[in-house]
Chain A
């Protein structure tokens, strides 16, 4: 279980508990976090679950798999700290993770 904070672009904060093994995207969708569209359902095929990871967490996350960076090219305003939340699998180590949601997904 990990507590994950989602910051929306209008500065709302949503803190939710996500079970280990689920992706950050799945946790967001199940909890109706606004701004995570996840059109393709976790197939790394759409870039609509794009989040910005809080700087201090960047190095603590598992590296991007092949394909995630390619998909991020398509995302809305990608930055250096961009990730696809469907590729972030929750574990105890992710407890306290803070991510920001872009102003739009496409």
Chain B
């Protein structure tokens, strides 16, 4: 079991800056995130889009902001646990025991939820019958592409993931690429390649089609697709892949006894603690009168939540308010040599 002062759930900008604020006041923390990379919505939703309302930074992209925050917390050597979702919390006297999807366990004094709008999960097919085949002959991500060799694969979607996998797998498999419209959101060069392969018969492209139904007992044998004009095609297929991007879901957070309203967690504005002592919520996931879903608000909330968690981590010590410009202790923690 990993023992640390605070566990931060969510490695978006709010969680990252909160780690900085914890470090400054001498608390250790580790961060868990369900994505495979740090940055949260900044990286997943808009890595290249400019942001204009970070104080004192006239313009930066989501990726630049993330990289700068990582640089800012470097002195604290924060440990990240990516691809992990927090599943269970248990109170143990004055501490919290936390377990993740990958069975990592933590023993912490406080938990700060900086989970944005929830954890990112793949968006699924609307059809109920798809669940039955999921992770067997139907996938939303690919871990081992060798299982597809010499098989027929029907890929749904029009973004980069769908196009890239269609191109890559077309070398070793028979591919049907099905998309709801003629236009694609993926890179133009990939679209051109897909169209060429379609002409030469190395891939079959079906546009203006969506999934109608799946046929098969334990494994998928065929997929029925429906054109927008009503025409139905029946395609033999061994596997179905869906690439519809990611959706944010609160997931297990709903089961922790927190007051939740409209997918957000109620907090007080003194230290952003929830109705459960020792659990704080900051950033897009928290709500209070006047809440603004801005990154700058998340920074403020993180600064206060970090201080709020001090009494749980060091119950016998008193937290002194200090400035980084003048505090020797803070500067030592930042590794500044004079």
Contacts and interface: CB of A to CB of B under 8 A. Distances in A.
The answer to whether A and B assemble together is: yes
A74 B228 contact: no
Interface in A68-82: 69-70, 73-74, 76-78, 80
Contact of A40 (B117, B124, B244): B117
Given A39-B248, A40-B117, A45-B46, A74 B123 contact: yes
Interface residues of B, number: 25
User: What is the interface of chain B mostly: helix, strand, loop, or mixed?
Assistant: loop
User: What is the interface of chain A mostly: helix, strand, loop, or mixed?
Assistant: loop
B104 interface: no
Interface in A1-42: 37, 39-41
Contacts of B45: 40, 43, 45-46
Q: How large is the interface on A (under 10, 10 to 19, 20 to 34, 35 or more residues)?
A: 10 to 19
Interface in B197-211: 210
A43 B124 CA distance: 21
Nearest to B159: A73
A106 interface: yes
Contacts of B210: 77-78
A88 B159 CA distance: 24
A81 B34 CA distance: 34
Interface in A47-92: 48, 69-70, 73-74, 76-78, 80
B232 interface: no
B185 A70 contact: yes
A16 to B, nearest CB: 17
B333 interface: no
B244 A39 contact: no
B180 interface: yes
B151 interface: no
B15 interface: no
A37 B157 CA distance: 22
Contacts of A37: 263
A40 B159 CA distance: 19
B26 interface: no
A37 B126 CA distance: 17
A26 to B, nearest CB: 13
B314 interface: no
Interface string B179-190: 111010100000
B254 interface: no
B245 interface: yes
Nearest to A76: B126
Contacts of A78: 180, 210
A69 B247 contact: no
A43 B159 contact: no
A73 B244 contact: yes
Interface string B209-228: 01000000000000000001
Top 10 nearest A-B pairs (CB, nearest first) are A70-B185, A106-B247, A45-B45, A74-B245, A39-B117, A77-B126, A74-B244, A73-B158, A39-B248, A41-B293
Given A41-B293, A73-B244, A80-B228, 9 more contacts: A37-B263, A40-B45, A45-B41, A46-B45, A48-B247, A69-B185, A70-B158, A73-B185, A74-B244
Interface of B: 41, 45-46, 117-118, 123-124, 126, 157-159, 179-181, 183, 185, 210, 228, 244-245, 247-249, 263, 293
11 contacts: A40-B41, A40-B117, A43-B45, A45-B46, A46-B248, A69-B183, A70-B185, A73-B158, A73-B185, A78-B210, A106-B249
